Structure 1
Amino acid sequence: MSDQITLNVGSKSFEVSKSHLVKISSYFEVMFSSPFAEKDQTEITLKDVNPHEFEAVLQFTQGKSIPIDDENVYEVLKIADMFDLKVMTSHCQKYLVDHLEHDKALKVWKAADMYGLTSLAKRAKSFILWHFPTLSTQQSWDDLSLEDFYSIVSCPELHVTPDTDLLKLIRHRLEACSPQDSNVCRLSLLKAIQDPSAPLANLKSRKLPIQPSVQGSSGYIHSFHLKTSSLSRPVCLPPFEQGGNCPVGIRTCAIGPYIYSLGGEEVIGRSNWNRKVWRYDTILQVWDCVMELPSPIRHMGICTDNDRNIFLVGGYGRFRVKSDAVFKLDMNARTCETLSPLPCPMNSPPCCVFDHDLFVFGPNLLRGSWSDKGFSWTSFEFDASRLPKGCNLSFKMDAAVTSATAIFLAQGYHLFKFSPEPKSYALELMGQFKDECVHMCMVEDRIYKFDASSDEASIEVFDTHSNRFDIIWTGESIDLQSYNGCFGVGPWTPLSMICWPTI
């Protein structure tokens, strides 16, 4: 019996080996190995298939290179899904991941959901949720089913800025509802607008799935996954590969789904500075260089306003000179503004942003504020009257983080709290960590402290509501105890990494 078969697709016919089709497709494997009518036929007609794209798919399965672009990727993906061509599906999926952009995100998400590409669908939805302020004005929302539309606008992780006209988008969608649309979904959208207890009522304070993370001294970023209580190191800083040198004095922080790494010198005294500001997109899972620093710098204090700005305070510049420079990097505009210098140079001072003011905890305690006259510094002193007697306080802090109502400071083992409003600097001792604190981050009103000794690594948590300290994870010793950066970042989903099969 001949191994050749003719496939009629539209106006074209293709001579193909049955054994080749069985090898690449479970669809054809079942067709030619089961008691179907097609088993012994020498000619088969395939319906609802574009002949041009089908020919390209056949060429790809035979090891030939074919161009995938925005014009053909969805039709090729449809054919790959129809005939269960997993290698072709992975090829299309990789293209869509590499080209996931604002004007394509909704269409990619819809296609990924239609063809059961779970990993791609999660990544595209995360992209839509975070970039919603930009995407909300697109016409492509009308192409979504009412159920899909509701799953986006009702999501508690939706990023909504004050100038995002979410209600206008919802009202437009309601007006465009067809009689076939589910009455349940129509009522859900109406309830979302009218019911103050609905998820939409709280969307102005976006809630990303934040993961506490730390940049280790080896150049890897370690992330603690709250749902699974597991620690992973899913990404290495660029352009440093495994076994390479991580710049000395580099600093890392995060804003929303983006991790930023900047500054540092690969070998001190060799003038091989890292001037680039690198950004890692945790949704697309790629690094890119977004801007450059105005001057070489390492071992600086770093903090963010959790919105768009990164602040660099002090550090060391060329010739190992301690710096008094303060920079504000606007990561949306990709610009750098030089603020008023510190009253004295500082090395790695803990700093944070609270109520739009910049606080620096170094040899001098400083509060930087903006006014009509610009940015200026004022000094302040802590009020230690509330501290227990005998509390040994040097006022040289090791780390600082902010909640919505207070600033938390670590000195050695001790954790302190103070609320600098209205101009009150009274310190309150909250307790002490099991080990000395060199860095910490705030995630969902809990302070996470990463620690590592020669034998064991651990993560300790302080709950700001219960005022309780707990060790929530222990494991083998890894490079958690560094000063490079500790931060919360989201959505952080290294498990969604796609492994592309090879032919």
Structure 2
Amino acid sequence: MDCAVDNTLSEKVILVLGNNRLEANKNKLTASSLYFASLFSENFSDHRKNEYPINYEISISTLKDFVNWAEHTEDNQNDKINHYIVEPSLEKYTNKNDTDPLELLELSVVFMCEKLTNALTSIIILHWLYAEKIIEIWLMAEELGLEKLRDVALGACLDRFEELPLSSVAELSLENLMKLIGNINISSSPNWLKFIAKEGIRNYRSTADHDLSNHLYKSLLKIAELPSNSCSSAIKNRQNLVPCVVAQKIVNSTREKLPCVYWWRKKNFSELVDLKDIVDLMDNGKEVFGRQIIGRGFSIYVIGGEQGLGSGRFNKTIWRYCLLSKTWFSIAQLPCPRRHMAVKFIKNRLYLIGGVGHHRLKLSSVDVLDIHTGLWSKAAEIPEMFTEVPASCVVDGKIIYHKTNFYVFDPKINRWDTVKLITPDYFGPYHVESLMGSNNNTCCNDNNIYISAIDHDAKESTVLSRFSLDSIKNVRREKIHEWTKTIFRQIFTGSKLISFLYNDGEVTIEEGMLKNINTYKSIRTYTHPMKNIHETGFEQRLGCFNVIDPDTLHEQISFFDQVKYNRHKK
């Protein structure tokens, strides 16, 4: 009995922080922290001590939270899971109105607790990247050498730049300011960028950053001097978008179908991410119908679907895959379960449009999620319901979908309008496969809707046409190009039109461009063997979208010679 008591006592140590004494389990600390594992090892002369001072400026509550986590964390957690699961001892940190996790994050780095650092990183990414906090998190992650959190926070700063507190932006060093306003991926109006650049010049005037020979300061001056009507003509490089398409792949071991996102990147067609984690977690071994996948920025979103048609078992969780952290996060619950809906982003608002709900009822409702706040709202009901995912796109901040007519939604007035389209007889009957808007980011605003349609009479024919949104009455459809093959998925990526085809274990990608709004030119065709894609290829409308290339997160803009640019403008 005495021996048992002695062994129990030897497992306890006292951590001393100022006037506070905190009892902790020595073995648990050793297992969870490389710092304590070294401190308690026989290589240190004082490893037999029972009391250890904590010589860091932290609060006692943070130290208590650390000890509580160390004593309750599970050692057998599956490291292969790449979706975020919060540990019970850390749940208090998921509420942004409760305890700030940054001090505990810093302590996890000091105590070399990689598992705790990763857990807190996921919590911060999901719950703490609101506008008032992002810059602080970004700078702290940079200082602590936490690359994953640094990159995600930087991406959030770029995405929400116009929402960042001006006082926080004004306190940035020249180097850090240029990491934001000099980044090719920043979401900001030119006028706001110019204003911030001019404020920076004023703030740095009496500091060491005021150096006319510094290349960063030169870039700051060029941003401040860009013409007010400039969009991006004076800038050499822009946001690097990568086209993605979703298909079912065949899992070799079981021959089951698994949704997979593929991307066409650097002349290579390959898997970006499959939905295995989501399927294993949510689908209950059933085939899910009507699930939709969409991309925005550095993220991919998985939405809705029903586990077997008519079963009434819907996937209600919206999942986001972060390309920067390579982690899945559950971000919201559907207010109205649905499948086969159209899904579109307008800025930070995700629109879930129509589709099918419980009891196979067609839905006319439109739910809108603000991904920055997590709040849901309603938009005007659609004019025509549907049971299969319709072709849809976003042009000039408006949503367009096609059923028996083309319908346009303007969020500024919360209204759907029907386009009165005039289609010349020579088009013949057709089935609309893709609706597209050009995202070339040029000075001219291209508000054309581009239609990719398969000719009913000639199955091996795909016609590209367009109509303008300048008016919704008596709008004429203009033919642009015709392919002698069936193309199910197409998307504009920058100035290029990317076409995806699949046939007999081979993917074909055609890159082309519009020489003008009425003339298409094919640039080059590529083929890639992909034997594990299901025979339906890209026929199902599961998702076709652009994401930002994560490798370009830190890429900076460069400028044409400003003199040449100004001369050209004249």
**Is the pair's TM-score, using the shorter chain for normalization, greater than 0.5?**
yes
Superposition pairs of residues 21-170 of structure 1, within 5 angstroms: 24-25=33-34, 29=38, 47-50=55-58, 52=60, 55-56=63-64, 59=67, 63-64=71-72, 69=93, 73-102=101-130, 103-135=132-164, 137=165, 139-160=167-188, 165-170=192-197
Number of the residue aligned with 1:417? 464
Q: Percent identity?
A: 14
Note if contact 1:258-1:282 (Cα within 8 Å) is conserved in structure 2. Answer: yes
Superposition pairs of residues 342-491 of structure 1, within 5 angstroms: 348-354=389-395, 364=404, 366=406, 368=408, 375-383=416-424, 394-403=429-438, 404=446, 405=448, 407-411=450-454, 412-421=459-468, 423-433=475-485, 436-451=486-501, 456=505, 458=507, 460-465=509-514, 466-471=521-526, 473-479=528-534, 480-491=537-548
Q: 2:270 aligns with which of 222, 230, 241?
A: 230
The offset of 1:354, in angstroms, is: 4.6
Give the number of equivalent residue pairs.
Answer: 471
Q: Summarize the Cα distance change of 1:372–1:195 in structure 2 as closer, same or farther, 3 Å threshold.
A: closer
Distance 1:331 1:377 in 2: 24
Alignment gaps of 5+ in structure 2:
1-9, 74-88, 250-256, 371-375, 439-445, 515-520, 554-570
The aligned amino acid for 1:438 is F
Distance 1:279 1:62 in 2: 29
The aligned amino acid for 2:147 is T
1:335 aligns with 2:378: yes
For normalisation by structure 2, the TM-score amounts to 0.64
Note if contact 1:278-1:288 (Cα within 8 Å) is conserved in structure 2. Answer: yes
Bigger mean CA offset, 482-491 vs 353-362: 353-362
Alpha-carbon deviations, 1:340-394, whole Å to 9, x = none?
Answer: 348xx785553445557766655x5546587999644344343476x9xxxxx54
Q: Summarize the Cα distance change of 1:229–1:251 in structure 2 as closer, same or farther, 3 Å threshold.
A: closer
Alpha-carbon deviations, 1:122-168, whole Å to 9, x = none?
Answer: 11111221122322x35333453331122012211111258x84444
Q: Summarize the Cα distance change of 1:27–1:208 in structure 2 as closer, same or farther, 3 Å threshold.
A: farther
Q: Summarize the Cα distance change of 1:259–1:215 in structure 2 as closer, same or farther, 3 Å threshold.
A: farther
Note if contact 1:263-1:274 (Cα within 8 Å) is conserved in structure 2. Answer: yes
Number of the residue aligned with 2:77? none
Q: Summarize the Cα distance change of 1:130–1:432 in structure 2 as closer, same or farther, 3 Å threshold.
A: farther
Q: Summarize the Cα distance change of 1:261–1:82 in structure 2 as closer, same or farther, 3 Å threshold.
A: closer
Q: Summarize the Cα distance change of 1:372–1:250 in structure 2 as closer, same or farther, 3 Å threshold.
A: closer
Note if contact 2:498-2:512 (Cα within 8 Å) is conserved in structure 1. Answer: no
Coordinate RMSD, CA, aligned: 5.2
Q: Summarize the Cα distance change of 1:207–1:14 in structure 2 as closer, same or farther, 3 Å threshold.
A: same
Number of the residue aligned with 1:192? 223
Q: Summarize the Cα distance change of 1:469–1:382 in structure 2 as closer, same or farther, 3 Å threshold.
A: farther
Alpha-carbon deviations, 1:11-32, whole Å to 9, x = none?
Answer: 5689997997699437984998
Alignment gaps of 5+ in structure 1:
388-392, 497-503
| SS of match in other structure, 2:529 | strand
Note if contact 2:405-2:418 (Cα within 8 Å) is conserved in structure 1. Answer: no
Distance 2:313 2:234 in 1: 42
For normalisation by structure 1, the TM-score amounts to 0.71
Number of the residue aligned with 1:500? none
Note if contact 1:438-1:481 (Cα within 8 Å) is conserved in structure 2. Answer: yes
| SS of match in other structure, 1:107 | helix
The offset of 1:118, in angstroms, is: 0.9
Alpha-carbon deviations, 1:314-349, whole Å to 9, x = none?
Answer: x6678878x7x766554446213124348xx78555
Number of the residue aligned with 2:442? none
Q: Summarize the Cα distance change of 1:281–1:396 in structure 2 as closer, same or farther, 3 Å threshold.
A: same
Note if contact 1:212-1:443 (Cα within 8 Å) is conserved in structure 2. Answer: no
The aligned amino acid for 2:379 is C
Alpha-carbon deviations, 1:223-264, whole Å to 9, x = none?
Answer: 316257531334465896366334433444445566565565
